[in-house]
């Protein structure tokens, strides 16, 4: 029994030795993102719509993350359930880095719009990192997001902070 405990502790120590925790903060600027697809369906409730979309972000001058990599492109596939542009949004995402590695996961959030719905909306939410490729083949983690957006103006800009271990 004592030998098994020692082996388990040894393997746990090795795993922690090779795990690397990283905090990566990224800001997307106006003009770096574009809704490449979006479809909206109005329901029987005034102001209520269901929407699906694809949003692509191509950073012009991104900062390197803690692994020394820059984001080349991020794609978000999502759906929203809004009444007067207030409600929930969720979906999947994929980020590609300059060495070809990728990271992917899911996102969800709540969006709020000012009374004048032509103004930009704010969405605050969370991200779950489900996996990746290349140096992120064993990645896991989570993140928080805050985004200002306006689909009618093809505008999205926000901050994304990821906390992950590989």
For the chain, 166 residues long, give each residue's pLDDT as a single digit of tens.
555 444 443 444 444 445 678 888 877 888 888 999 999 999 999 999 999 999 999 998 878 998 999 999 999 999 999 999 899 999 999 999 999 999 999 999 999 998 887 888 999 999 999 999 999 999 999 999 998 888 888 788 888 788 888 7
Cα–Cα–Cα angle for 57, 144, 149, nearest 5°? 45
Domain boundaries 22-165, CATH class: mainly beta
Rg of the chain on CA atoms, in Å: 19
| Residue environment code for 102-133, b if the CB has 16+ CB neighbours within 10 A, otherwise e | bbbbebebebebeeeeeebbebebebebeebe
Which token pair is 139?
Answer: 């990645």
CB 124 within 8 A of CB 114: no
pTM above 0.85, yes or no: no
Helix (H) or strand (E) holding 152: none
Query: What ranges do the domains of the chain cover?
Result: 22-165
């Amino acid at each position: 029994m004592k030998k098994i405990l020692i082996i388990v502790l040894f393997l746990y120590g090795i795993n922690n030795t090779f795990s690397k925790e990283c905090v990566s903060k990224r800001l997307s600027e106006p003009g770096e993102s574009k809704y490449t697809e979006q479809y909206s369906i109005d329901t029987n409730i005034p102001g209520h719509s269901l929407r699906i979309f694809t949003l692509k972000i191509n950073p012009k001058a991104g900062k390197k993350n803690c692994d020394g990599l820059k984001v080349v492109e991020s794609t978000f596939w999502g759906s929203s359930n809004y009444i007067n542009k207030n409600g929930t949004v969720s979906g999947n995402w994929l980020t590609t880095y300059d060495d070809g590695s990728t990271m992917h996961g899911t996102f969800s959030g709540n969006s709020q719009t000012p009374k004048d719905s032509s103004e930009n909306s704010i969405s605050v939410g969370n991200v779950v990192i489900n996996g990746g490729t290349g140096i992120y083949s064993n990645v896991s983690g989570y993140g928080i997001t805050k985004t200002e957006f306006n689909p009618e103006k093809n505008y999205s800009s926000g901050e994304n902070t990821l906390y992950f271990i590989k």
